[in-house]
Amino acid sequence: MLPPMSDASLTNIQMVRPKGPKVFLAVLGLGVIGAGAWWLTRPAGPVGEPEDPRKLLVVGGEDGVASTLGELGFVAEQGSFEELAAAGTKDGASGEGIEAILHYADVRGFGYVAVADPIGHGVSGITITGDSADVTEQDQWAVFSVGDLGMPPKVTVQPKDSELELPGYVQVLRAAFVQDRLANTLFAENQLPMDAVELQPKITAAIELFGAYQNLDRRVTKDLRAREEAVVEGETIEPKPVVLAKALEMTESLALADGTVLSLVQSWHLDDPWDPEVSLEADTELELWFQPAASSEPSDRERCSSLRGGVLPLSGDQRALSPRADAMLIESSSGGLEVWTLDVAAAACQWQRKGKLPSPRADELSWGVPDGSGRVLRGAIHEDGPAIHLWEPGREQPQVIAAPGCSETSAPVWLDAEHLAFACHWQPPVLDELDSPYDDYGGYDDYEDEVDEDVEVEDVDPAAVEDEPAPPPPPPEQVWIYVVRLGDQKTVAVPGTALGEHVGGYSLRAVPGAKGLDLLAVHPWNDELVRVRSTGDLGSLLAGAEATFSALAEADAAAAIAVPSATPGMDPAVDPAAAPGADPGADPSASPVVAAPEPEAPLLRPAFVPVGSMVAALAEDGLTIATLTVTGDHDTLSLSADGTQLVFVSDDGRSVMVMPLEGGSPTTLSDSDSRQELPLFTADGEAVVFTSRFHGNDRSERVGRLARLP
């Protein structure tokens, strides 16, 4: 009796004596030889356990990929490329690297092998099916079929690049579900192929998560499409401004004095990335990044860690940038404001914290205007009128800078480290209702109704009342520009007649790069800007007014001696009875002894300024006045660092325009349906950075943009 065939050797077979013809033995011998040759030269095929499409071997990648896939219904193991290749060689693999790993998986019944960084691990040298994907350096994962599920292996990768930062297990799923057996499980239950009926219920969680990310990708694609339509396709100007934001970002961009562009970036992140309810949520912090000078590619940007560690809380993202883009106020998490200054001479985006200021007090109007020195100017309202507060970090109280005679002031502007300017608006006082015989409707009031019967009214001699001189009328409404020297608060005043007929409140812009007085006075409602310039520097401007300051001091001293009862606030340069040389014993009601000033005599100070205030009126003929027409939003005006160009937003926020400060036609840098905000010149004056706001699919979005000047 022969032993079982599975245990028989070739020698045993050859020992059996056949009963047929010898020719049969020859044919049988040839067949055995052919079978042996086939065995030695056969292509690699399935070995070991039958391959299970639920079993995944994860090669490399971050820790936890296999465990998460296991929670989603797969049977997964994970190891390093080197460890698994060595294990395959130990199992008798004839090849190395990926071939040894595939052999290891085949022996153990894994249906698929997912390899991280496939190009880096040299997986491109093996034989694969013709319908396999082309693996490139951009592919972070590739999935190989094993044994019964595909030999030679079929290789699949993610169908397309995703803008989402996907976890490793999601990338594996996206590549794995392109494999034929797993792809069949994505059909509806009543349409499942036979080979997916048993598999689908076991990996339902994986299928749901895969579908959730497919939906999320579609939403991201839709959002990016909305951005493309708003700020790229909707842009009518060529070349189109560059978007300073990556795909899943909202940004606001600011051009800085050191030549860089600072972007405040709010990113979107995956919330519950392992859950079928996965969604996109906006970060609660702003990351601070900067574009190096002359760069406009978001990929070139670097983290600006010197400013608050490179992070701002979204809840405290309010800030105030200085007009020269070299200082910033930031809300502090512990209360108050932090003062930061930019070191323009140092490396890019190097900020220094100067200290803290208190938040605006009840009598202050705003955060204020910071300067590169670290000091801050704030407008304020005191009981006796407006003033300017000069704050320095670390001090508990500000230096108060008076605004003599002003009914209201504009926001102050820095001219240099020692001088500031603001517009002073004088309005005559309004008589109290009870001081007027007319009621609110223009009719005559019955004063008898106003009399308190319990109060005794003193008899007044009508003749005495008739002989009493009427007080002089107050000066008419007018506006002046005050230029203040911080050291002694002496002030020179530019006459409002230089600004035109309007006497309301102007706002001011200081023109950078000027050594002397160089201001833009912005008309409150029409399209005009008035440029006011002096010929000398600011020091000379104040020094040239010293004679006037001396004359004012003499006039004030003489007025105090000559007419102690003079009307408070009346300027002796205007009131002849209070002028130097007046007879102290003269009857104030009689004609003055000293003649009135000649009409051509220079005005020492504005008529509404109180006696004792060192405010010297400048002669208009010592100034250069020019008018510029700008059709746009004057609140968005910004000037280039050299003071030669002006940028602003126009057309109800659609357009960003630049024009020479000396006058000329504006040039449009951007025109689209998005709303443009905060245009700023780069330090070299060759580009403008601004922020565009637009409506996405279900929310308002913003991105920084950069437009280069033609």
Query: How many Cα neighbours within 13 Å face the side chain of 473?
Result: 4
What is the maximum span of the chain, computed from C-alpha positions, in angstroms? 167
Q: Name the percent of the chain lying above pLDDT 90.
A: 67
Q: Is the dihedral of CA 293, 298, 301, 306 positive or negative?
A: positive
Quote the pLDDT of residue 592: 42
Quote the pLDDT of residue 453: 53
pLDDT band for position 590 (cuts 50, 70, 90): very low
100 three-class SS: helix
With a cut of 80, say whether residue 583 has pLDDT above it: no
Mean pLDDT across 426-452: 53
User: Tens digits of per-residue pLDDT, 181-229?
Assistant: 999 999 998 899 999 999 999 999 999 999 999 999 999 999 999 999 9
Quote the pLDDT of residue 523: 83
With a cut of 70, say whether residue 40 has pLDDT above it: no
CA distance 281 to 72: 23
**448 backbone dihedrals φ, ψ, rounded to 5°:** -65, -30
The answer to whether 532 touches 498, Cβ cutoff 8 Å, is yes
With a cut of 90, say whether residue 31 has pLDDT above it: no
Q: What single string gives the DSSP state of each residue in 132-195?
A: PPPP-TT-SEEEEE-GGG-SSPPEE--SS--SS---HHHHHHHHHTTSHHHHGGGS-GGG--HH
DSSP state for residue 364 in the 8-state scheme: B
Mean pLDDT across 520-531: 87
Give me 589's structure tokens: 């009601």
Quote the pLDDT of residue 404: 96
Mean pLDDT across 569-580: 43
With a cut of 50, say whether residue 547 has pLDDT above it: yes
With a cut of 80, say whether residue 451 has pLDDT above it: no
Quote the pLDDT of residue 591: 42
Average pLDDT over all residues of the chain: 84
Quote the pLDDT of residue 559: 80
Give me 173's structure tokens: 């799923």
Strand partners, 416: 419
Q: What is the 3-state secondary structure (H, E, C) of 499-567?
A: HCCCCCCCEEEECCCCCEEEEEEECCCCCEEEEEEEEEEHHHHHHCCHHHHHHHHHHHHHHHHHCCCCC
- pTM, to two decimals: 0.79
Residue in the structure block whose two tokens are 């990996």: 203
With a cut of 60, say whether residue 574 has pLDDT above it: no
Higher pLDDT, 70 or 448: 70
Higher pLDDT, 37 or 609: 609
What is the chain's percent helix, strand, coil content, to nearest 5? 25, 30, 45
CA distance 458 to 130: 117
User: Tens digits of per-residue pLDDT, 337-357?
Assistant: 999 999 999 889 999 999 999
Range of weakest confidence among 451-460, 562-571, 659-668: 562-571
Quote the pLDDT of residue 567: 43
pLDDT band for position 620 (cuts 50, 70, 90): confident
Give Cα separations from 421 to 87, 322, 492, 519, 629 (angstroms): 80, 15, 10, 9, 22
